[in-house]
Structures are given as structure tokens and as C-alpha cells.
Structure 1
Amino acid sequence: MSRLLLAPMEGLLDDVLRDVLTRVGGYDLAVSEFIRVSGNLLPQRSFVRVCPELARAGRTGAGTPLVVQLLGSDPACLADNAAQLARLAPAGIDLNFGCPAPKVNRHGGGATLLADPEHLFRIVSAVRRAVPAAIPFSAKMRLGVRDTSQTLDCARALADGGVDSLVVHARTRAEGYRPPAHWEWVARIRDVVSRPVAANGEVWTTADYRRCRAISGCRDVMLGRGAVADPFLARNIRRLTAGQEEEGDRRADWQQLQPLLASYWQQVCAKVAPQHAPGRLKLWLAALRPNFVEAAALFLAIRPLRTVAEVNQRLQQHGVLAVARVDVQAGAR
């Protein structure tokens, strides 16, 4: 049976947006934003702060299991933190070898580690020993740093080190998020490892999903930016795979999306300092614009606003029926 995975997206797809997107439905599991591990054993509260789902049996409010992602480069430190995290019983533990951000890569994390397959093996082997067999252990990789000369060696290193499954973002670090995604390379990785492989990258529509599966040969697909831009993408893929017609009424989708936007806004206001809340809403609305004309209009209306009160008023004017309440004295929690 094929699975749909909700990708981690640093700075955007946090616990609040995970809650909203998984409420629409269609996902088998979600992966958290990375938790950076850099020399210290993190207390359990650090994991729960990034992943509040850990305090709710490791599931989103809609019941979608959450895999927690770690990022770092020191095998022993990552192993110790993975063991600490395992005590919180997440739905899985994932290692990040895919982040292309220069700030992350300068400190030896993310996709820059793909330059050294032997070190990948050391990291994964150490973490494998620390993670109980009952907890699924996975890794996410790109195709390489600048080219694909070591792609297959990296995939073998992760598989031989003991991951239960792999997610492959089908671009190199140097390619960032520029299209196309090289799904044919995911197929090549599948040929050389004996672990389940999920494809990731440039799946924006159900047609993209079809092509991705056909070219990569993967049953499992991870959705990232496409899921943020179209909260109904996973639902439509499920309809497709069930042999049903895709729902194509964007006006009806917008009506369904309005209470989700309202919930997102309320949760953001409860989570972050008031001065930062409008920016979070603008970020999601900007991503929604290609699929919803109403989101484009709402984004333009909200873009110049700076306060929670101003945004509340504008949301009411545009029919998003919620007024967020925020404790200005408390600020961010």
C-alpha cells in the first residue's frame, strides 16, 4: 500500500501547520522540523518544545503519527540524543542529510554530509545502536552536494548503517529547490538498497504525483511545498488512487479552507509573540496564492498590516470567520 508523508519545512511547517494540514486528511505520517544536535544532550523538554505532539502520544490533533527529525554531524552526540528522544516514544526518528541551507551546512549539518559517505555510515550506525528496534528509524538525503557522483554510495551507506527506510529529495544541494526534480535518480537508489524508499520533490499536483511514482518506481511519496500551497493535495491524491474523480472546485475548497486558516491564525497567535504573528500568516497566504485567487487577494490586503488587531479586522472583512485572542503580556510561549 502506498503512503503519503508530510515533509518537514524549517520555519514554516511547524506543529501548527502540521495540525491544520493533517486535519484535511490523506497523510500516513508527518515529519517534524529538524532539531539541531550540536554537542550537548538535550533535555526532553527541548524535543517537546519543537514537537508538542510528543506530549500527545506522538500524534497530531487529527491522529497522524509524527516522526521527529534530528540534525547534526557527531555520531556519539546524535546517538545520545536519539536515545533520549526515544524515551518520549515518537512514531519514528529521522536524520537530516538533506537541508541545503548555508547556515546549516557551514556547521557540518544537513546536505553537506553527503560529501563523506563513510561518515554517514558512522553516524547512522551509532544512532541505529541507540534507537530501540521498535521505533522506526529513517533518513532523508539529497542526491549529493554539487553532483551525483556519490549518490549511490551515500544511499548504500545509510542503508548499510541500519536505517529502516529512506526519503530522497531528488536534487543536489547546489540545485536547491530549482526544478526539475530528478526522479530517475530515486529509481537508481531503489536498485541498490534493500530498504523502502520514498520520493520527494516537485510534486505540486496529482499529475506530478503520477509521474513521480511512474519514474521513481516508489510507492511512497513525501509532499512538501506542494502540500503547503494546496492543503487538499493529499486528499486529491487519495481520491485518485481510490479510482475516484479529483474534486476540482477551487471555490468549494476555499470555503473549506477558511476555518482552517482561522484555526491556523488563532494557534499562531497563541504560540508566537504578537509582533511575529502577522508574518507567519502572510507566509502561508503567499504560498497559497497560485491555487486560490481569494488567498492572493487576502495576502495583498494583509501584507501592509503589522498588528494582530489589524489582521483580525481584515480577516473578518474577507469572511475568514475568526477573531484571534492573544495575551500580549504573555508574548510567545
Structure 2
Amino acid sequence: MQIALAPMEGLVDDIMRDVLTRVGGIDWCVTEFIRINDRLLPASVYQQWAPELASGARTPAGTPLRVQLLGSDPRCLADNAALAGELGAPVIDLNFGCPAKTVNRSRGGAILLKEPELLHAIVREVRRTVPAAIPVTAKMRLGFESPDGALECAQALAEGGAAQIVVHARTKAQGYRPPAHWEWVARVQERVKVPVFANGEIWTLDDWRRCRAVSGVEDIMLGRGLVARPDLAKQIAAAQAGQEVLPMTWEQLQPLLQEFWRQACDKLSVRSAPGRLKQWLALLSQAYPQALLLFGVLRRETDCARIDALLGMPAPADLDSAHR
């Protein structure tokens, strides 16, 4: 079994990847999608979205990182994939699942599920261009409005050269509304010969057990459920091995929160750092009542020094020289 951390735009950046992979249980993670239009992007763009490339394409905890590209031009995607490989990306992942309207309007993400021939052409061109030692993988939803074409799309990806396919078990129209239709993951795995990962609505150990039973696949990708329960991958990995680990307590989570906030202050603007912390607390509140209480206290707080105090961070000796 492999457990992957999902590439969620605006949520799972290098900071979140760092703190979550420190907990353990995650076999690999993926960058937020890098939008490819009609040109070869400069190396600086890849270094911005995937700073881990400077460290062997691994998070500080040693978890491998894949680079995800999104676009609709097979040749341009292939050229950018080749550059990402030259910069150290060990795997190129292609996004055919993003449901965002702005992305779909510009012919990216889930809208391409209406064109299985184009899916095949994109993967085939990227696979042809990228060195054979670098696998090409893909992430898809079940379809745009309905799952009727899901099997054809998955087959197009596999025949194009995708080494693995992650299936978010909902259509674009369904967004993130439950339930996830894991039975379609089983149908996809029956159709293609490459490994298929189940993704969507895995928030707890019980959800994972139901997903495995319904989908019939062992490999999974965790998204919001792992952000809400940072030790969920570790718990699932232990359960798969016939072991049990006690859930992470709120007290044990504190060092992760503090590290997340420290990095947010270092890497983000003073204006955006508090928002990122509140975003994570909102998700953590699904598993930790204390996170909801802290979110309520911080909801309108924008002063970084006061947030430091509320998180139990040591005060900097020289505020003028600190990152504030």
C-alpha cells in the first residue's frame, strides 16, 4: 500500500507538506499544480512552487515530491515536463481533475475529461519527451457532469503511458460534496492495468476501511482528511500492518502548529500569514475542538506578535530584526 498526500491548490504548499510529512505515514506528495499555457516556464517558477527540488525533491522529513503540471497543449506540457525533470523532479504528474471554474474556463483540469483523445495525446507526448527513468502519472475525476466517460478517460491515460492514476471519486459538478463514489474506482481498476489510487472523503480510519472494501484498491491519496488529522496516514499505515497507534493529541500537535506559523511568517507576507494559519485551524477543528476555540480567538487577529503569544511562541529578542 502507498499513501500519498494530495496536491491541493492554496492549501498544501511546501510549508504544509513539510509539517505533515514530519508526522509520518506519507509515501509521497505532490506540488500544487503549475499552470502551463503556451510557453516554457523559467526555472524560477518551478523553484518557487517546488523549493524541495533544491534538496533532492524531498521534504525535510525525506518524503519524495512529485511535480504536477496542468494545461491542455501536449507539446508545451511535454517541454515543461522535460525541464521539470532536468531540475530534479523524480515524477511528473498531470492534473485532469481540478474543478475550479477559472481553471476549467481556460481549458485546464477537469474540463479535459470531455476530451479523452486529448488526454491520451497529452500523456503520450509527455511520456515520449520525458526520460524513461522519470515516471509520468495522472490525477482525474470521474468526469465533468457525469461519470459515464470515466472508464474511457482512464483507459486513455493508461494507454498514453501513465504509470499510475489517482481517481478522485467525484465528478467536477459534484465538487467536494459527499459522498465519494468509490465503486467507480473499482471499475476503473478493472479497466486499466496500471495501479489506481482512491481519493476522496477519507477522513478517518473507518472511512479508509470502507474505501478499501468498496474500491478494492490498496493505494490511496489523502487530501483534506489528512490536513484535518495530521496523523491519519500514520494511523492507516499502522492499521494496514496490523498495528495500532494512539491518535495525536492536541498537545502533541502544538509543535507542528508552531512550526507551521514560523514558516508562514518567514515565507509569506504579514498580510497573508495569519490567513493561512486560520485556514488550517478551520480544518483541524473537524478533529480537535481546541482548534475551533483557537480559531474563534484568532478569527479577527492580524497582529503577528499577538498570534505568537496565543500559540505559545517565544518572543523575538529584537522585533526590528525579526521577520515581522
TM-score by length of 2: 0.96
Q: Distance in 1 between matches of 2:143 and 2:123?
A: 17
Q: Distance in 1 between matches of 2:136 and 2:315?
A: 41
- 5+ long unaligned stretches in structure 2: none
| 2:301 corresponds to 1:305 | yes
- Structure 1 contact 269–326 (Cα < 8 Å) conserved: no
Structure 2 counterpart SS, 1:189? helix
| 2:258 corresponds to 1:262 | yes
Q: Distance in 1 between matches of 2:317 and 2:175?
A: 38
Structure 2 counterpart SS, 1:262? helix
Query: In the alignment, which of 286, 291, 295 is matched to residue 290 of structure 1?
Result: 286
| 2:184 corresponds to 1:188 | no
Structure 1 letter corresponding to 2:262: Q
Structure 1 letter corresponding to 2:235: N
- Residue matched to 1:238: 237
Q: Distance in 1 between matches of 2:161 and 2:170?
A: 23
Structure 1 letter corresponding to 2:301: L
Aligned runs of 1:98-117 on 2, under 5 Å?
98-117=97-116
**Aligned Cα RMSD in Å?**
1.8
- 5+ long unaligned stretches in structure 1: none
Q: Distance in 2 between matches of 1:162 and 1:14?
A: 27
- Residue matched to 1:8: 7
Structure 1 letter corresponding to 2:250: W
Give 1:328 deviation, angstroms. 8.3
Distance 1:59 1:327, change over 3 A: farther
Give 1:245 deviation, angstroms. 2.7
* Structure 1 runs (4+) greater than 6 angstroms displaced: 324-332
Q: Distance in 2 between matches of 1:237 and 1:324?
A: 39
- Structure 1 contact 274–328 (Cα < 8 Å) conserved: no
TM-score by length of 1: 0.94
- Structure 1 contact 4–222 (Cα < 8 Å) conserved: yes
- Residue matched to 1:155: 154
Distance 1:326 1:71, change over 3 A: farther
Give 1:326 deviation, angstroms. 11
Q: Distance in 1 between matches of 2:176 and 2:292?
A: 22
Give 1:91 deviation, angstroms. 2.5
Once the two structures are aligned, what percentage of the paired residues are identical?
56
| 2:17 corresponds to 1:18 | yes
Q: Distance in 2 between matches of 1:87 and 1:21?
A: 27
Distance 1:330 1:52, change over 3 A: farther
Structure 2 counterpart SS, 1:33? coil
Q: Distance in 2 between matches of 1:328 and 1:150?
A: 58
Q: Distance in 2 between matches of 1:245 and 1:135?
A: 35
Distance 1:154 1:322, change over 3 A: farther
Structure 1 counterpart SS, 2:54? helix
- Residue matched to 1:138: 137
Give 1:329 deviation, angstroms. 9.4
Q: Distance in 2 between matches of 1:174 and 1:44?
A: 35
Structure 2 counterpart SS, 1:149? helix
Q: Distance in 2 between matches of 1:209 and 1:217?
A: 11
Structure 2 counterpart SS, 1:11? coil
Q: Distance in 2 between matches of 1:140 and 1:87?
A: 22
Q: Distance in 1 between matches of 2:94 and 2:109?
A: 9
Aligned runs of 1:165-204 on 2, under 5 Å?
165-204=164-203
Q: Tell me the matched-pair count.
A: 324
- Residue matched to 1:93: 92
Structure 2 letter corresponding to 1:108: R
Deviations 1:248-269 (A, max 9, x none): 4x6xx21111011000000000
Deviations 1:92-114 (A, max 9, x none): 11000000000100000000000
Give 1:307 deviation, angstroms. 2.0
- Structure 1 contact 312–324 (Cα < 8 Å) conserved: no
Structure 2 counterpart SS, 1:150? helix
Distance 1:326 1:158, change over 3 A: farther
